[in-house]
């Protein structure tokens, strides 16, 4: 659905502080996928996703949505941004309206949605992030907790009914419970509503929990692109890139180093539990 062809992006071109943020990046994100983009701070993750909805224009290279160049003259930018929903880091900083409902309505209203349809979309979007429209709708967004504000911001994008949702560090700065809730809502948007999801993060636990496929970035380049399991199977390489492992994967690999034959490629706590129980059972059988 989205395809980047040798995308290069240079910040502050022609000044002494010129920096290449993306260097020759080619990749494809297919409809219905749930993809994680990981990389150390400054590796170009955020710059890359801003190319997906045309906020940044590549210095060299092209970006295609369904095989149409998104910077072609006839492409309507609003329609592009309706289809590719992008949520920035700390999205609660973009709230501005007097009520939660009005803020969520901002996006669809810009697209020309009005009346009952607008109302339906606002209520639907709030419900999908677990906020009761009757209780939260009339309140001021500035009177909510951080986690609630962030969910309002996500609803603001969902109300535009995009096909693809890009989230840049959606759990940064939240407490563990809010983090868990946000990730659960994201997973449900993918599982139940078929949204294509791109999750930008340096929380290995978050991407391990949600994403099948991982794209690893380092200093503006894609250095790995493949199944999450195979990416996490090479901890030495990740460490060299300034990245770690999900807690549970790390736990499994440490147990293995100490002689318990646990599968090293577990990604979730449930998998980890099963793998450890199995390893213990195998060892018990061997001992008897």
Partner 1 sequence: MELLRSFAFGQYVPVESPVHRLDPRTKILAALALVAGTFAIGTFAGLAVLTVFLAAAIAAGRIAPGYVVRGLRPVFWLLAIAVALQVLFGEGGGHPVFRRGPLVVTRENLLLGAFYGYRVVLLVVATTLMMFTTSPVELTDGMERLLRPFRRAGVPAHELALMMTIALRFIPTLLEETEKIMKAQMARGAEFSQGSLVRRARALVPLLVPLFVGAFRRADALALAMEARCYRGGEHRTRMRQLEMRRADYVALAVVAVAIAVALGPPAAWHAP
Interface with partner 1 (CB under 8 A):
11-12, 15-16, 50, 53, 55-56, 78, 81-82, 85-88, 91, 93-96, 106-107, 110-111, 142, 156-157, 160
11 or 64, CB closer to partner 1?
11
- Separation between Cα atoms, residue 243 and residue 21, nearest integer Å: 19
160 or 255, CB closer to partner 1?
160
Question: Residue 111 Cβ, how far from partner 1 at the closest point, in Å?
Answer: 5
Q: How long is the chain?
A: 288
Question: Residue 11 Cβ, how far from partner 1 at the closest point, in Å?
Answer: 7
57 or 273, CB closer to partner 1?
57
Order of all β-strands in the sheet with 221-227: 84-87, 164-168, 196-200, 34-39, 213-218, 221-227
44 or 156, CB closer to partner 1?
156
- Separation between Cα atoms, residue 73 and residue 51, nearest integer Å: 16
Element (H, E) at 197: strand 196-200
118 or 266, CB closer to partner 1?
118
150 or 213, CB closer to partner 1?
150
Question: For residue 272, with 0-12 CB atoms within 10 Å meaning exposed, 13-18 middle and 19 or more buried, which class applies?
Answer: buried
Helices (H), the chain: 45-52, 77-83, 100-110, 115-128, 133-136, 146-158, 176-193, 204-210, 228-232, 235-240, 247-257, 269-287
Return all residues near 59 (Cβ < 8 A) that are at least 6 apart.
Answer: 8, 9, 10, 13
Question: Residue 70 Cβ, how far from partner 1 at the closest point, in Å?
Answer: 14
Question: Residue 57 Cβ, how far from partner 1 at the closest point, in Å?
Answer: 8
Question: Residue 91 Cβ, how far from partner 1 at the closest point, in Å?
Answer: 7
Question: Residue 172 Cβ, how far from partner 1 at the closest point, in Å?
Answer: 14
């Amino acid at each position: 659905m989205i395809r980047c062809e040798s995308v290069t992006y240079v910040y502050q071109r022609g000044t002494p502080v010129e920096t290449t943020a993306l260097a020759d990046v080619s990749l494809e994100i297919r409809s219905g996928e749930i993809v994680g983009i990981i990389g150390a701070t400054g590796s170009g993750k955020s710059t890359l996703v801003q190319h997906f909805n045309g906020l940044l224009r590549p210095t060299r290279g092209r970006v295609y949505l369904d095989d149409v160049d998104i910077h072609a003259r006839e492409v309507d930018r609003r329609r592009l941004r309706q289809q590719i929903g992008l949520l920035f880091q700390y999205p609660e900083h973009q709230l501005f309206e007097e009520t939660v409902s009005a803020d969520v309505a901002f996006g669809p209203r810009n697209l020309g949605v009005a009346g009952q349809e607008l109302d339906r979309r606002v209520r639907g979007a709030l419900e999908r992030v677990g906020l009761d429209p009757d209780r939260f709708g009339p309140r001021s967004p500035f009177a909510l907790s951080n986690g609630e504000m962030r969910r309002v911001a996500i609803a603001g994008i969902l109300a535009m009914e995009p096909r693809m949702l890009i989230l840049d560090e959606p759990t940064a700065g939240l407490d563990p419970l809010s983090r868990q809730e946000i990730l659960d809502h994201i997973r449900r948007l993918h599982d139940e509503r078929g949204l294509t999801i791109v999750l930008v993060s340096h929380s290995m636990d978050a991407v391990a929990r949600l994403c099948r496929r991982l794209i690893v970035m380092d200093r503006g380049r894609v250095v790995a692109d493949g199944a999450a399991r195979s990416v996490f199977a090479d901890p030495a390489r990740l460490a060299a890139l300034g990245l770690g492992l999900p807690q549970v994967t790390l736990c499994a690999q440490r147990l293995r180093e100490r002689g318990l034959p646990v599968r090293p490629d577990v990604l979730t706590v449930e998998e980890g539990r099963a793998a450890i129980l199995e390893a213990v059972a195998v060892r018990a059988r061997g001992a008897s």
